[in-house]
Amino acid sequence: MVIEKGSFMVVEKDMLKGVVPYPFEKHSNGYQRSTLVDRSLAGSVHQEIGVCELQPNGSVDFCLHAFEEGIYVLDGELELLRDHEAFRLSQDCYALVPYAVPHAYRNRGDKVARWFEVLAPQPKPRGGWQDTYFF
């Protein structure tokens, strides 16, 4: 169920539709994201919020961004590779990836890893100036 009142919107979990977000189409395996807040959905100017999923044996290639990435693990286990170290994050763990820090994600478990993600400032849309770089 979706409830809208002015600029306020409530979306139930089963309404979320995950897609491989731009620009990760060629730089991930088993990765999807359901965007909850951004400039097109809620008119947000400063941040983007979503729920991400990474399938077992899935990965997101090493990249860096011109924005901060905060994550909070909801389900499963997620491996964050950052600064030449691997951090195993399980349910209720959180992490911050500062801007311009190379990082990658892997799911070595047998369950889907799901996490809540906040990106600030908001990533640029397709066709805007580039703010994500892959290695």
Is the pLDDT at 17 greater than 70? The verdict is: yes
Q: What is the mean pLDDT of residues 6-25?
A: 74
Contact 109, 5 (CB under 8 A): no
Give the global pTM.
0.87
User: Across the strands, what pairs with 22?
Assistant: none
Cα distances from 59 to residues 3, 19, 40, 75, 112, in angstroms, run 34, 15, 27, 16, 12
Cα distances from 39 to residues 53, 75, 105, 125, in angstroms, run 22, 27, 26, 9
Average model confidence (pLDDT) across the chain = 90
| 129's tokens | 């100036």
**Which segment, 5-14, 30-39, 119-128, is predicted with the most confidence on average?**
30-39
pLDDT value at position 10?
61
Distance CA 44, CA 75 (A): 27
Is the pLDDT at 113 greater than 60? The verdict is: yes
pLDDT value at position 31?
98
